[in-house]
Amino acid sequence: MSKYLVIVESPAKAKTIGKFLGKKYTVKASMGHVRDLPKSQLGVDVENQFKPKYIAIRGKGELIKELRAAAKKADKILLAPDPDREGEAIAWHLQNLLNIKDTEKSRVEFNEITKDAVKNAMQHPRTIDWARVNAQQARRILDRLVGYKLSPLLWRKVKKGLSAGRVQSVAVRLICDREEEINVFVPEEYWTLTGLFKKAKSKADIEAKLAQYKKEKINLTDQEGMNKVMSDLDGVRYVVKDIKKKEKKKYPSPPFTTSTMQQEAYRKLNFAARKTMQVAQQLYEGLDIGKEGTAGLVTYIRTDSTRVSETAQTEAAEYILEKFDRDYKPEVPKQYANKSRSQNAHEAIRPTTVWREPNKIKQFLSRDQYKLYKLIWDRFLASQMNPAVLDTTTVDITAGDYLFRATGSVVKFPGFMKIYTESQDNGENDEERSLPELSVGLVLKLVSLIPKQHFTQPPPRYTDASLIKALEENGIGRPSTYAPIVETIQKRRYVTKAEKQFYPTELGFVVVALLKEHFPEVIDIQFTAAMEDKLDLVEEKEEDWVKILADFYTPFQETLEKAEKNIGVVEIEDEVSSEVCELCGRNLVVKMGRFGKFLACPGFPQCKNTKPLLEGIGVKCPECGGEVILKRSKKGRRFYGCSKYPECGFVSWDAPTNKKCPQCSSMLVQKSSANKGSFLSCVGPQCGYKEKVEEQ
């Protein structure tokens, strides 16, 4: 009886696959990559076709020995890492370590970890795809050349221990550029006027916005202009001039790609990109779900394709017919257009079977696994349903020379919205209030006119979701790299996160400015995106990977030599505080640590004194009248507490305010949500008072 050895990346994947295959199969895990470039040296022969020097990763010796021993006992070795460039490279490294011939059909791949998919893959092995391997090698070597050549320069010129990444540096640039936009932004004043009206014998208010003056769009820039409008409207009649009704279709979003899954999980579930990928990996690799045993619950999670297989579409159509009715099922299954460079060999992220409803398996999943699985399941099913149909109404109300406009919509047919609607980055949604039945010529009663002063707002700082969206839109990185990019720029302390927004640190600003001046191509968004396209062309066998490296490295090396001569030492001065070190008498300075700012003695390493930096928020403690300060938990989460701790034990996860609840006089705290934006909420246990935070 033939014996097969199957090698995958992770123990969880090995466990799931092992249950699908018979006794003839032994399934082992490589624990990710087994070989890589050495950490102690460049590991790339730039004079010899950029030949890489691969060595066994430190700590993997025993594992490699175990895999070799298992390989000797097997009649056939099958390499089954993930179906992408990184997985192909792992398979190639394993092929080398286990002395498998290049001509041997040893590579198997599957897009989902289900019994049928895995068994089918085992029957159709192929040779290693060299184009994929070379695309991965080119990326790895490019990143090594930039990291190992540029980082020592930063150590010498800026600060020891700094590192520069080819793609991460561009992400930091996006955040720094946005901060500069915010810093130079000059707010402009503008005013809006909202009218509340009633028709006779109706309790419902009709809300309308001032839209025109003498048939031209009105633009009010100061209070003087608003005062004139208010004066003109004194005593006028409000008459319904025009009513337009039309039917509008609202279409579902495509099923998830890696990027859209990370964005939506952030908006709806408050998951950071890294957490989303960790949980998604668990769903992909397989979980024990009771009588069914172990099964992969979702398809491969690193993809930029929105393609759905015919089998999955058919299954979704059958489910929709059984659970809803024929009106919800499209006549022709919906396919979504991919971006030109998407890897269409993969599918979108979807449940491996739509019949595995989230609620049916909830008891077998952790809270986070259930939340993300439901999000993926809802999004996929909605993508296969008919659009929603809305009846929209626009009502024009004349008031002398002025015109107010009211809009409303009613859902005529919910379609996909019965299952799912996508969240927006700005917290807004498409819901509009319905309007009462009106007729042209009807005179309305004015309830009130509400003038409001506004100021234009600067562009918002990036969040996890909007940064990933910007990276994808600019062609920076690929599905497998979005989460590591977001994590790395924080670890390197080039950016920090507060209130879910990214702020560049002084270090981030200094490094980006230096790179902009001396290494413009390394930090150029278009150049980096073009490099990603070239790596895709290597995989498509349309570009030579060595030529790409040579075209990049020659000018890069010349720039390095010039920069070494031209860049002086850049000093980053610490902010000096008024607090004095009680050990040596020096003024403590503000430092940036893993969990934000803290105070440290500038006499380090002779004096190692450190203290927390107490950041007041201008709010009095509701329990003792002391100052409320910003603090951080051991895991880095922000919270608020009294400066008189431990005498006073007041703490709050939400930002306290000096405002009192108008209903019960308890303190109001500021909260925010994806759908509602920022709002104030009462902390009183029996009081549900909420108040919208007005735009400044």
Q: Which residues are catalytic?
A: 300
End-to-end CA distance of the chain: 76
Write the single-letter amino acid at 540. Answer: E
C-alpha to C-alpha distance for 255 and 335, rounded to whole angstroms: 10
Write the single-letter amino acid at 38. Answer: P
Neighbours of 122 (CB within 10 A): 18
Contact 495, 486 (CB under 8 A): no
Tokens of 662: 């108008």
Contact 605, 589 (CB under 8 A): no
Tokens of 191: 């005013």
Contact 369, 279 (CB under 8 A): yes
**What are the backbone angles phi and psi of residue 205, rounded to the nearest 5°?**
-80, 145
Contact 387, 249 (CB under 8 A): yes
Contact 329, 383 (CB under 8 A): no
Q: Give the single-character DSSP code of 446.
A: E
* Helix H or strand E segment including 502: strand 501-504
Neighbours of 441 (CB within 10 A): 8
Instruction: From residue 651, give the alpha-carbon distance in Å to each of 389, 444, 640, 643, 657.
Output: 47, 51, 5, 10, 13
Neighbours of 514 (CB within 10 A): 19
C-alpha to C-alpha distance for 10 and 81, rounded to whole angstroms: 9
CA 46, chain centre distance (Å): 36
C-alpha to C-alpha distance for 386 and 418, rounded to whole angstroms: 10
Contact 321, 265 (CB under 8 A): no
Write the single-letter amino acid at 106. Answer: S
Contact 402, 394 (CB under 8 A): no
Instruction: From residue 312, give the alpha-carbon distance in Å to each of 322, 358, 381, 384, 577.
Output: 15, 17, 10, 10, 62
Percent composition of the chain: helix, strand, coil (DSSP 3-state, to 5): 35, 25, 40
**What are the backbone angles phi and psi of residue 348, rounded to the nearest 5°?**
-65, 170
Three-state DSSP class for residue 291: helix
**Cis check: omega of the bond before 605, within 30 degrees of 0:** yes
* Helix H or strand E segment including 245: strand 238-250
Residues 6+ apart with CB under 8 A from 114: 20, 295, 296, 352, 353
Residues in the chain: 696
Residues 6+ apart with CB under 8 A from 159: 507, 572
Q: Which ranges of 430-544 does DSSP label H, i.e. alpha helix?
A: 464-473, 482-491, 506-518, 525-539
* Helix H or strand E segment including 94: helix 85-97
Nearest residue to 219 (alpha-carbon basis) of 207, 210, 232, 231: 210
* Helix H or strand E segment including 122: helix 115-122
Nearest residue to 86 (alpha-carbon basis) of 9, 147, 145, 14: 9
Burial (CB < 10 A; 0-12, 13-18, 19+), residue 150, is buried
